Chain A
Amino acid sequence: KAGVTQTPRYLIKTRGQQVTLSCSPISGHRSVSWYQQTPGQGLQFLFEYFSETQRNKGNFPGRFSGRQFSNSRSEMNVSTLELGDSALYLCASSSREDRSYEQYFGPGTRLTVT
């Protein structure tokens, strides 16, 4: 089975712009979660989608949004980019909605905001 894929792998944007990141989960996985990883704050949960519905949301401003499509692929969008949004954005998928199940992580998208 192919693993979780994320596109693009690297992105450079300017303050004020918006960006869309994409995640394709492992085939058959219906849960997709997003995390932000920075040296200062570590790994922080952004949101989770299951069968196209947002189930959980982390403590991020409304500039961060996401969605999931019927094929379980997910996108996250960040509007009005700030320098502090520079981070590695990780996507993870899981086969079940049960919280005890393993999450499989993608390689991440490295976003740099200048």
Chain B
Amino acid sequence: AQRVTQPEKLLSVFKGAPVELKCNYSYSGSPELFWYVQYSRQRLQLLLRHISRESIKGFTADLNKGETSFHLKKPFAQEEDSAMYYCALSGAAGNKLTFGGGTRVLVKP
């Protein structure tokens, strides 16, 4: 079975402060991990995936297989980062995504 846990439902930070969204997973094999984001009144969209090892909009995420974590970080939050963030895992073959419960990020001015 595969499971994704996002322990924080809401993160409230001030503009310019660092933000870290936690994601822990459970999967016996080698997972593919993603962060998806949903801005207000927009579709769910990919933010980044661990296989790309890239930084998108200043966000980075490192896969830690020892701790089974894939936390999302940004050193300086911006107001436009306010959104709902979902961590997701793809295990077996195919495009089945298992999502975490989501974390709402609110960046205050």
A90 with B44: CB separation less than 8 A:
yes
B99 with A56: CB separation less than 8 A:
no
Which of A13-21, A67-75, A77-85, A95-103 lies at the interface?
Answer: A95-103
A9 located at the interface, meaning its Cβ lies under 8 Å from any Cβ of chain B in the complex: no
Chain A residues 32 to 87 lying within 8 A of chain B, measured CB to CB, are 33, 35, 42-45, 48, 50, 55-56, 58
State the CA gap A100–B44 with chains docked (Å): 17
B95 located at the interface, meaning its Cβ lies under 8 Å from any Cβ of chain A in the complex: yes
B95 with A33: CB separation less than 8 A:
yes
B interface vs A, CB < 8 Å?
Answer: 32, 34, 43-46, 49, 51, 86, 90-102
Q: With A45-B96, A92-B97, A102-B34 given, can you name 13 additional A-B contacts, CB distance below 8 Å?
A: A3-B43, A42-B101, A43-B97, A45-B97, A48-B95, A92-B44, A97-B94, A99-B92, A99-B95, A99-B96, A100-B32, A100-B49, A102-B46
